[in-house]
Structure 1
Amino acid sequence: MKIAFYGSSLLSSYWNGAATYYRGILRDLAARGHDITFYEPDAFDRQQHRDIDPPEWCRSVVYPATDAGLASVLAEAGDADIVVKANGVGVYDRELLEGVIARAAPYALKLFWDVDAAATLDEMRSDPDHPVRAALPQLDMVLTYGGGPPVVSAYEGFGAATCVPVYNALDPTTHFPVPPDERFACDLAFLGNRLPDREARVEEFFLRPAAALPGRSFLIGGNGWETKAMPGNVRHRGHVYTAEHNAFNCTPAAVLNVARDSMAHVGFSPATRVFEAAGAAACLITDAWEGIELFLTPDEEVLVARDGQDVAEHLAALTPERAKAIGEAALARVLRDHTYTLRGEQVDLLLRERAAQAREAA
C-alpha cells in the first residue's frame, strides 16, 4: 500500500528523538512491500545536522516551512492508501492534521501517530479545542510510541476508534556492540536533549549522583546542556549523532536512561535510548517507571533506580563483570522480544486489516 507519512524528520535526529523510531518501523514496512513517502519540514536546523542520506527504501520529501511548502505536500495526500500525521512536527501541526484528513481519498486509512502521547493527552485535557481532540472522530486509528493501558484508555475516552501502542525497539543493523571509544570514556553516561519536563529528573538521577561521587566521571550528551551548571566531574559532549550512539553506549561503565515527567508518570513508555543501549550490550541504569519489567527484567537485564541515591549506589557497587553480564542479558532479551521486525509485523497487520475495512466502508 502507498503510505504518506507527515512527521518531524526521518533524516535527522537533531532535536528529534523519534528519528530512529521512524526509521526502524518504516524500513521494516517498506521491506513488507509498502510504498512510503516521508514528508518533513526544513526547520530547526535539522537538515544541517542530518544523520542519514535519503534512504533507498523510502521517498524523502523535505519541504520549506512556509504556507506554499505546506500546500505542496498536502496536495499529495490524496494519492495515498494510508495517510499518517505524527505529532511534534514543530511547524504547522494543526494545519497538517486538518489538511491530511481533508485531502485523504475516501477509501484511505487516516492515522494519528503520537510519539509523545502522555503530553498530548495532558494538552487535550486542558484544551477542549485541541486539534487532535477535534480530529479523533475522523481518524481510523491512533498509534502511540508507548503508554500502555493508561494511554489506550485515555485516548478511547476522548473518542478514538482504536488506540494501539507500538513500542520502541531495536534495529540490530544500526545499534550493536562496537569497540570502546575514548571520547566517551566515563563511569556513567546520559544522552538526551534538555527539555523542560526532563530537566528536574536529570538533576535528580544524573547530577545528584555526580555530586555524591566526586571521584567518578560522568558524561552528558544532547542539545541544550551547555548553559547548565554541573559538577566538575561532568563533561558535556553536545549533540551525539546516531552513527556515534554505539560507541557512546559501549564505552562507559554504565549508561543512564531518564524518562520525561509525563512518560514516567504514565509508565509503559521505554525511550528509544533503552533499546539502543541494550542493543549495544551496555549496562543500563533506568529511573523507575511502571511496566519496565515488560521490556527488561530488573536486576538481571537492567538496573532500576527510584532516585539519585539509588543511581549512586548502583554505580558504586557495579563491577566490570556484573556490568558485562547485565549488558549481555539485555542484548539477548531485545534481540528476542523487541526488534523493529516484530514492531513492523504488528503495524503491517493492523494497517492491512484496517485498510481493507476502510475500502469496504468507502
Structure 2
Amino acid sequence: MKLVVLGLSLSSSWGNGHATTFRALLKSFARRGHQVLFLERDVPWYAGQRDLTAPDWCRLEFYEGLPALDRWRDEIAAADAVIVGSYVPEGVEVARRVQGWVGGVTAFYDIDTPVTLAKLERGDHEYLSPAVIPGFDVYLSFTGGPTLRHIETRYGAPMARALYCSVDLDLYGPRDVPIRWDLSYLGTYSDDRQPTLERLLLEPARRRPDLRFVVAGPQYPPGIDWPGNVERIEHCPPADHAAFYSASRFTLNVTRADMIRAGYSPSVRLFEAGACATPIISDKWDGIETLFRPDQEIVLADGAADVLAALDSDAATMGRAARARIEAAHSSDHRAAELEAHLGEAAKHKAITRPTETAEG
C-alpha cells in the first residue's frame, strides 16, 4: 500500500502528542511492507524544535502553505490511501484538496476527537468542518465507545472507527536506572488538567514531604505553588521517556475534561508507562476498564488519599501486569494492523457505495 499522511508534525514532539503517535504507528505500518510519505506544514514553532528529521521508515517532506501542497498532487492522487490529521494548519482546505485529488481511500485521523467535536458544536472550524467530514471514507478516532456512532449519525461520516494511540516497544521498555521519584507526571500544561494534577500529585506531595515527586512538561505558567519535594523538568524528549518512567515508582495519568466527558480516550502516556512496567495511577473515566484491569493493571484514584495508599503499596506486580497488557493489545504493531484493516474495510465500502466514482478514479 502507498500511504500519504498529512499531519500536524512528525519532526517535532515539542508541546504535542501527535509526533510520537505518528512515529510509532507509521514505523510499524511501514514494517508491514507499506510505503509511507508524510507531509508536514513547515512552521517556525516546530522547525526550531525538531527531534526527528530523517526517519528511515518513511519519507518526510515539508510544504509551505496551501499553494505549495500542489507539488504533491500527483503522489496524493496515486496513493492507495491518504490520511489527513487533526490540527493540520488550514485543515479544511487541505481536506478539500485531498478529497478532490485522491483516487484511493481518504481518512481523517482525529488525535483530538473530544476537542474536535466540542469545536464543531461551537462552530469553530479551525481544522475540520462538518462539510468535509462525509468526504472522508473513514473517520479514525482517538476516542472509541458511543462517540463513533455520534460521528456517523451527527456528521455523516461513512465509517467511524477507533484507532487509539500506542507505543513502540522498540523504544519503550524497563530501563536499568535508579528510582528517583515516588510519583511522576509527564504532560504539557493545560488549564483543564491542572485541577486534577493539583488533587492527585501536588496535594499528596504536601501531605508527604518524605516522598519525591516530579512534573515534566512545557508551558506551565508562573505562579503555581510547587511544593519543595516536587521537581520540575521543562521538557522531556521522547528519547528520554523510557528512562523517565523507569525512574518512577508510580506515574500519574491526567485526562483533559473533554476526554473525560467522552470516555474511551486513552492518552499515550498510559501505554508508554505501561510498556516500561511502571505502575499507573489515573483519574477515572468511562472505558478505561476496557484497556487495563483496575487494581490489577492500573490504580484509579479520586483524591490524594487514594494516591497515597497506592504509593504505600508494592508496585512491582502491577507494573509487570501493565507491561503484559501492552504486549498483548496496545503496541504500535497492533495499531498498524488495525489501521490496515480499517483502510481495507473503507476501500471495500467505497467500492460498493461509489462504484462509478471508484472505477473512473
Query: TM-score of the superposition, structure 2-length normalised?
Result: 0.90
For the pair 1:175 / 2:172, whether they are aligned, the reply is: yes
CA contact (8 A) 1:226 1:238 kept: no
For the pair 1:220 / 2:197, whether they are aligned, the reply is: no
- Partner residue of 1:208? 203
- Partner residue of 1:352? 344
- Partner residue of 1:148? 144
Counterpart of 1:132, as a letter, is S
* In structure 2, distance between residues paired with 1:310 and 1:19: 33
- Partner residue of 1:139? 136
Unaligned runs of 5+ in 2: none
Counterpart of 2:26, as a letter, is L
Unaligned runs of 5+ in 1: none
Q: CA deviation at 1:44?
A: 5.3
- After superposition, the C-alpha distances for 1:234-259 in whole angstroms (9 at most, x for unaligned) are 11111111110011000122111111
Counterpart of 2:30, as a letter, is A
For the pair 1:7 / 2:37, whether they are aligned, the reply is: no
CA contact (8 A) 2:66 2:94 kept: no
* In structure 2, distance between residues paired with 1:358 and 1:297: 37
Partner of 1:134, secondary structure, is: coil
For the pair 1:82 / 2:81, whether they are aligned, the reply is: yes
- Partner residue of 2:159? 162
- Partner residue of 1:97? 95
Q: CA deviation at 1:67?
A: 4.5
CA contact (8 A) 1:177 1:250 kept: yes
- After superposition, the C-alpha distances for 1:307-332 in whole angstroms (9 at most, x for unaligned) are 334223322x22xxx21111111111
CA contact (8 A) 1:170 1:275 kept: yes
Q: CA deviation at 1:267?
A: 1.3
Counterpart of 1:205, as a letter, is L
- After superposition, the C-alpha distances for 1:326-356 in whole angstroms (9 at most, x for unaligned) are 1111111211122221221121122123224
1:1-362 matches, cutoff 5 A: 1-43=1-43, 45-64=45-64, 66-73=65-72, 76-89=75-88, 91-105=89-103, 108-127=104-123, 131-145=128-142, 147-157=143-153, 158-180=155-177, 185-225=180-220, 227-229=222-224, 230-315=226-311, 317-318=312-313, 322-358=314-350, 361=355, 362=358
* In structure 1, distance between residues paired with 2:196 and 2:46: 26
Partner of 1:133, secondary structure, is: coil
CA contact (8 A) 2:193 2:257 kept: yes
CA contact (8 A) 2:145 2:287 kept: no
* In structure 2, distance between residues paired with 1:151 and 1:78: 31
Identical-residue share of aligned pairs (%): 32
CA contact (8 A) 2:6 2:40 kept: yes
Counterpart of 1:79, as a letter, is A
Query: TM-score of the superposition, structure 1-length normalised?
Result: 0.90
Q: CA deviation at 1:98?
A: 2.2
* In structure 2, distance between residues paired with 1:129 and 1:22: 23
RMSD over aligned Cα, in angstroms? 2.1
CA contact (8 A) 2:161 2:342 kept: no
Q: 1:343 to 1:129 in 2, by over 3 A?
A: closer
